[in-house]
Structure 1
Amino acid sequence: MRNELEDYLHALVVERGLAHNTILSYQQELNEFLTFLESIEIKDFTQVDRYTILNYLKHCDEAHKSRNTIIHTVTSLRQFFAFLLSQGKITVDPMLKIDTPKSAHHLPSVLSSQEIETLLGVPDTHKKLGIRDRALLEVMYATGLRVSEAATLKLDDLRLEMGLISTVGKGNKQRIIPIGDVAIKWLGTYLTGARQELLKGRESPYVFLNNHGHPLTRQGIWKNLKKMVQQAGIKKDVTPHTLRHSFATTLLENGADLRTVQELLGHADISTTQIYTHVTKKHLTEVYNKYHPRA
C-alpha cells in the first residue's frame, strides 16, 4: 500500500504540477490513513469499503481534528481512490457514497490599523535582523504574500523601480502585485545594508535571509512573528497568514472591489475571497455598536 501511495504522490508532481507544500499535506493525511488501515489489519486497498472510511472519519473526529481538517481529509481520500480506480488497483471506489461534511465558517483573525502600527514598531531597526524583520513585515502587509511566497521571494522577483513584485503562488500561478512606497523604502534599506551583512561576502538569490545567510524558512518567519507579537502586547492568535488577512480586509474596508482583491491574493475562486466581506461587515457592526448613540 505504501508503494501505491508513492506512485500517487509522484503522479501529483508530474501530472498536476502541485506545489511542494500541497504535496506534503496530501502525503501526511494519506500516511495517517494508511497507519489506521494497518492498525485494523487491512493490507490491501481492495479491502477498504465505505464502512472503513466512515470508521476512519469517526477516528479523526475522536482525535479532535477540526471540521475543516476532516473535510480536507475527505477530499484527499476521494482523489486518491479515484487514482487507484483509474490505475486498476481497485474495482469499486469506497468514496462514492461518502458525503463531504459541511465546512465550519470561521472568520479569519485580522489586526486593526493600530495593532499593525504597533507590530511594525517592534523590530529594533538599529540591528541587522531588526531591519530584516521590519522589511519583511512591511512587505507581507503591503502585498498580502503567503508565508511560503515571502520565504521563496527572490531578487529577480523585485521590480521596485516600477513599484511591483512578482510571485509564484498555489498551482504554480504567477501574479504581479503592487508594493507601496513605505515597504519599498524598508526593503531598499534592508537590501543595501543588513542583507549584505547577513551574506558575509557570499551570494544568494533569496531576499530574506537568516542570521547564517541562508534563506529564511516558513517556520523561521512564524517563530519570529510570534515573538514580535508578544513584544507588541497583542493578545490575538497571530500567524503570518494574519498579515495576509489584514491586507485583504484593509483593502475592502477602504473601497477596493472584490475582483481586484481576488487577483492580488491569487485566489482561483472568488468565493474564497468573499470571506473577507464578512470580516468587514463584522468590523462595521462593531464600529456602529461602539459609536452610534442609538446602537
Structure 2
Amino acid sequence: MANSPFLESIRHVMRTKHYSIQTEKTYLLWIKRFILFNQKRHPKDLGEQEVTQFLTHLAVNRKVTSSTQNLALCAIVFMYKHIFERELTLLPDAIRARAPTRVPTVLSHKEALSIIGLMKPKYKLMFSVLYGSGLRKAELLKLRIKDIDFDAKNLFVFRGKGGKDRTTMLPNKLLKPLQTQVEKVRAIHTKDIAEGNGMTSLPPSLARKYPHAVREFKWQYLFPSTTRCEHPYDGYFCRHHLHSTALARELKVAVKSSGVAKHVTAHTFRHSFATQLLMAGADIRTVQELLGHNDLRTTQIYTHVIGQHSSGVISPFDID
C-alpha cells in the first residue's frame, strides 16, 4: 500500500493545498490504518458506520488519547471532503476518547536557566529563544534570517500554528548571540554558493512567486542543517533547517545532568515563558498575543499553574 495510487492522489491534493510534510505523513498514516481496519476495502465503499466503528476501536481497544482520535478523524474527514467531495455526518453512538484536564509542567526561572546552561552553545541559544520568546519548537526551527528585527527587538513568526503570522519579543540578552549566529549562517551560505549551491528550502508557492529567493541570504534558516538534502517537493538540493530530533537529544542529556525532576520537553520552555510573564504582572491579553492563541481560555490555563502566586493566597500551614 506504500505506493498505492489512491494514497498518492491524496498526497497530491495535500501538496496543492500546501499542507506541511508532517501533516501529510500523519494524515496518510491514519487513512492507511482506516483502510486496513476495514480489510482493505476502498474508502469510497465505506461510510459513516465504518468511520464510527474505527473511532470506537481507537478509543476502546487502542485506548488512544482524545487528541490522537481527533487527528485520525481529521485525516478521514479530509479524505472524504477533498477526494470524494462528501461531507461526513458522524453517528451519535461513536465512543469518543476523553480529553483529560491537564495543567502543563513549567520550570522555575532557575530550573530553566540551569538546564539551558548545560547545553552546547548552538542548542543553548536555541532553547534560550524558546524560553525567552515563547516559541513552539517548529516555529523556532523555521525561523529565517529575515524574521529577526534587531532594531525593534522582535521575532516574526511566519505561518505559525493554524497558519497565523505574529510577532513576539526578542530578549536584550539574546541580541549579540543571535547576531553572532547570523554571521555563522552567512559564512555557511557563502561557502555553499562557492560550491555552486546556496539554496534553502522554500514552500513551492513561495519558490514560484519569488524564484530568486531560494538563494538569497535573508531566506536562509537561522539554524540550518549541517548537511544539504533533496527538497521533498521540487527535487533540488538545498540546506533545510536543523532536525527536531537533535534538540530532543540535547535536551534529554541536559535535563538528566541538571537533576531537575520534572518531565521536560521543548514545549515546557514555552509554558514557562507564559507563566513567568504572568507572575511578573503581564496582562493576560498581551501574553495571549505573544503566544498566538486564538482563544483566551487557552492562555488562562497558566493562571491555574501560577495559582497562589497570582492571588497572594498562602497555605494555612505557612501562617505563623
1:81 aligns with 2:96: no
Change in Cα spacing, 1:8 to 1:273, as seen in structure 2 (3 Å) is farther
- RMSD over equivalenced CA pairs, Å: 3.3
Deviation at 1:101, TM superposition (A): 4.6
Output the CA distance in 1 between the equivalents of 2:154 and 2:317: 38
Residue equivalent to 1:252? 278
TM-score (norm. length: structure 2): 0.73
Change in Cα spacing, 1:284 to 1:271, as seen in structure 2 (3 Å) is closer
* Structure 2 contact 279–306 (Cα < 8 Å) conserved: yes
* Structure 1 contact 167–175 (Cα < 8 Å) conserved: yes
Letter in 2 for 1:188: Q
5+ residue gaps, structure 1? 124-129
Output the CA distance in 2 between the equivalents of 1:282 and 1:217: 39
Residue equivalent to 2:294? 268
1:280 aligns with 2:306: yes
Q: Which aligned pairs between 1:52-67 and structure 2 lie closer than 5 A? A: 52-61=50-59, 62-67=61-66
Partner SS state of residue 68, structure 2: helix
Query: Which of the numbers 100, 112, 119 marks the counterpart of 1:116?
Result: 112
Higher helix share: 1
Q: Please give the per-residue CA displacement for 1:24-68, whole angstroms capped at 9, x wherever unaligned.
A: 332322222222123xx5334323442x33432343232232233
Output the CA distance in 2 between the equivalents of 1:68 and 1:270: 20
1:207 aligns with 2:222: yes
How many residues are paired up? 279
Deviation at 1:174, TM superposition (A): 1.6
Output the CA distance in 1 between the equivalents of 2:166 and 2:6: 35
* Structure 1 contact 131–189 (Cα < 8 Å) conserved: no
Output the CA distance in 1 between the equivalents of 2:307 and 2:65: 25
Letter in 1 for 2:274: A
Query: Which of the numbers 165, 173, 189 marks the counterpart of 2:164?
Result: 173
Change in Cα spacing, 1:114 to 1:285, as seen in structure 2 (3 Å) is farther
* Structure 1 contact 138–182 (Cα < 8 Å) conserved: no
Output the CA distance in 1 between the equivalents of 2:279 and 2:95: 37
Change in Cα spacing, 1:4 to 1:180, as seen in structure 2 (3 Å) is same
Output the CA distance in 1 between the equivalents of 2:166 and 2:10: 29
Q: Please give the per-residue CA displacement for 1:134-177, whole angstroms capped at 9, x wherever unaligned.
A: 21111111111111111121111111122111122123322111
* Structure 2 contact 56–95 (Cα < 8 Å) conserved: no
Letter in 2 for 1:219: T
TM-score (norm. length: structure 1): 0.79
* Structure 1 contact 131–186 (Cα < 8 Å) conserved: no
